[in-house]
Structure 1
């Protein structure tokens, strides 16, 4: 299966374990192409080095081209060659995201991501998802397990963790060790408007499976909690988050809150 490329076995046992006829692997924790000698993300303030394979590049290219339809025109030097499908790398994907933000309000940016996500699915997919995965403990745990291999190209290494929802402990949390999207963009607004809020809304409103994402701007980690309803934006701590003044090219160090969140 293509989604299992570059996966490496670890000790944690996953609800999804079988690959092929007899081979059993774990997918809960993945190095996912990290090229750092330690095999772990780089420390805060440094960008993690990755070595992306074909699987990762296909997803980067697909998302970049879908989002490119909504992006502001890119300034090009004379004779710059148009990118082919697999010519996109992660930096290209992030640059397209930045151009999508240009000239759009916070809500408009989120709507673009929603449209892109819907365009990736066949007609009627959200309705089918609701039938297959009603908002139960099993559905939340199953989707947490799937998140680790399917989204490693976007967010980097992650693992399933135990969370408590309405007094019930369940394995429906995903701990992203250091979000690749956030560390490469360096932008609080991109994290919130182009990832957190639209992803929460998509799962909660389109798929009917509540999801809350809690980014940690101190170390760029993030917890995804399937089965937990997200709070309103005004009640969410991210709504008051200042810029990464040292690393964001669009930052306003004097502003108490990232301008992209207003």
Structure 2
């Protein structure tokens, strides 16, 4: 009897070790894949979201297990994304495409130099071509349709300016919403709501994903701790010097083409509240996932005057940027 008991005990221990090894191997492979594909933020996004979707779909009716496994997956993905960001940080000029000697954005008043790679050019081309469909009249030297690889960041900003021309504030925001929806597969917002209910871990996961995923658009950023409804959490993202604001120099473009539509898209389409607080003095910006945005009339950013020194469309005599009017 003692021998049988010892054999059963040994068998259970061996099984336990095997299962533990499988789990460790699984997460090691996931982490390896995430780091291997760190050059493509889109691939990182797919690899992070897909396993979450599988867990959610296979655990219907088991809320406790769903939450536990979802948290484990998000923690593994966040760790991998942070490792990616740290690896970029050690390479100086490669980090976020910045080619400044310091590896950091240039001081206010100076334009930051970027060395965009393949992934950055892909995103610029995708967004610019989508927005170009809503653009107004082109300059004579731009009448010929651009190829996918002909777009750089400057031309992406020029397309944004043409979209803004002749449109009201709300029309500009609606264009951005349509462009964002056109970039997603059918039913994506509904799936996002299932994958990321408005919880602390969902807010923190999306904050971590923002750093590598949006560096092509806004430049280098980092996850920071913020307070949401009295709870401290790492669901904030601090953009050091927004590339979009730096290149456009326009308060109206920042608010109407980025801040408001992005807040609205995450809050209303995805069901995850987001507040963005741009600082027009140093061109930094703070994103807070999990915090509901204020009403337009209560938002300090909507009462900002033009940046007369850098905006070619500015109206220095107006106390508020004219593009912020309805």
Tell me, yes or no, whether TM beats 0.5.
yes
Which residue of structure 2 aligns with residue 199 of structure 1? 262
Q: Which runs of 5+ in 1 are unaligned?
A: 8-12
1:227 pairs with 2:283: no
CA contact (8 A) 2:38 2:84 kept: no
Q: 1:89-137: per-residue Cα shift (whole Å, max 9, x none)? A: 0000000000000100000000000000000000000000000000000
**Matched residues, number:** 252
Distance 1:3 1:103 in 2: 41
Which residue of structure 1 aligns with residue 30 of structure 2? none
1:27 pairs with 2:91: no
CA contact (8 A) 1:6 1:32 kept: no
Q: 1:31-73: per-residue Cα shift (whole Å, max 9, x none)? A: 3010111111011111100000000000000000000000002
Q: 1:201-254: per-residue Cα shift (whole Å, max 9, x none)? A: 000000000000000000000000000000001000011100000100000011
Q: If the length of structure 1 is used for normalisation, what is the TM-score?
A: 0.91
Match of 2:186, SS state, is coil
Larger radius of gyration: 2
Q: Which runs of 5+ in 2 are unaligned?
A: 1-33, 42-74, 90-94
Which residue of structure 1 aligns with residue 236 of structure 2? 173
Give the Å deviation of 1:15: 5.5
1:38 pairs with 2:72: no
Q: 1:136-172: per-residue Cα shift (whole Å, max 9, x none)? A: 0000000000000000000000000000011100000
Match of 1:4, SS state, is coil
Q: Among 107, 117, 122, which residue is 1:58 paired with?
A: 122
CA contact (8 A) 1:60 1:90 kept: yes
Give the Å deviation of 1:6: 8.3
Match of 1:40, SS state, is coil
Which residue of structure 1 aligns with residue 61 of structure 2? none
Match of 2:96, SS state, is coil
| Higher helix content, 1 or 2 | 2
Distance 2:292 2:141 in 1: 46
Which residue of structure 2 aligns with residue 246 of structure 1? 309
1:5 pairs with 2:23: no
RMSD: 2.0
Distance 1:14 1:214 in 2: 29
Note the 1:1-262 alignment, pairs <5 A. Answer: 4-5=38-39, 16-18=78-80, 25-27=83-85, 31-77=95-141, 81-262=144-325
Structure with larger RCO (C-alpha < 8 A, sep 6+): 1
CA contact (8 A) 1:3 1:150 kept: no
